[in-house]
Amino acid sequence: MTKRNVMLGFFTVCFLLMSTFSYADANKAAISSMSNIMLHLNHYPSDSEKKQLNKFISDNSLSGNVRTMAQAMTDLEHKATDSDKKKLSAIIDDKSASADEKTLAMVIKNLDHKPSEADKQKLQEIAK
């Protein structure tokens, strides 16, 4: 193995690690923002909140789970649609989903006009 190949391999590994961390950071930031929206939700997101959620939906650098939850939140009218509830259940059951993704999906799925006090406590932890 040449020195060039070793260096190329090293830089490839470094790039992949940085990409993974920035991907995780972007997802974490989006989940935190969505948790903040849910904390103050009253029946459905405001127009400005829907604009923020639509940015998440169209951001292909975010995970499919994050984009699915953002879409479910834009569709909210007092509660999640039946179609969105199925998708949220899939996130909750997804072994590769983060704990924060599962918690947020569960809060959205179980929403009835606004989050319960217990759900608000969970959202506050995620929103930090």
Enclosing domain of residue 103: 25-127
Which residues contact residue 105 at a Cβ distance below 8 angstroms, ignoring those fewer than 6 apart?
65, 69, 88, 89, 91, 92, 97
Give residue-wise pLDDT tens across range 41-85.
988 999 999 999 999 999 999 999 999 999 999 999 999 999 999
Whole-prediction pTM: 0.80
- For residue 128, pLDDT over 90 is answered with no
User: In this structure, is residue 18 part of a structural domain?
Assistant: no
Q: How many domains does the chain have?
A: 1
User: In this structure, is residue 10 part of a structural domain?
Assistant: no
Q: What's the confidence (pLDDT) of residue 80? A: 96
DSSP 53-113: HHHHHH-TTS-HHHHHHHHHHHT-SSS--HHHHHHHHHHHH-TTS-HHHHHHHHHHHH-BS
Residue owning tokens 């939700």: 41
- For residue 14, pLDDT over 90 is answered with no
Q: What is the DSSP letter of 43?
A: S
User: In this structure, is residue 4 part of a structural domain?
Assistant: no
